[in-house]
Amino acid sequence: MGNGNARLVLVIGGVGYVALTFFDLMTQIFNVSFFSFSTLAVALQVAVGLPVLAYLFMEAKLP
């Protein structure tokens, strides 16, 4: 895996972690069910991550 691909994977992981932390914070502030927020965060991460993983496995460069 090249430097660009490794950096891309780290960015995806970081964004997913920040999104989950953000939704957890919103849960504590607004006292809402964590399940709905975490589901939304995971869905967002999958929606962003799947195309990127497809590019990685095809060994293509992102435009």
**Max Cα-Cα span within the chain:** 43
Per-residue pLDDT tens digits for 37-47: 667 777 777 77
**pLDDT at 35 > cutoff 70:** no
Domain boundaries, the chain: 3-57
pLDDT in tens, 6-21: 777 777 777 777 777 7
Closest CA to 49 of 20, 23, 11: 11
Q: How far apart are CA 49 and CA 51, in angstroms?
A: 6
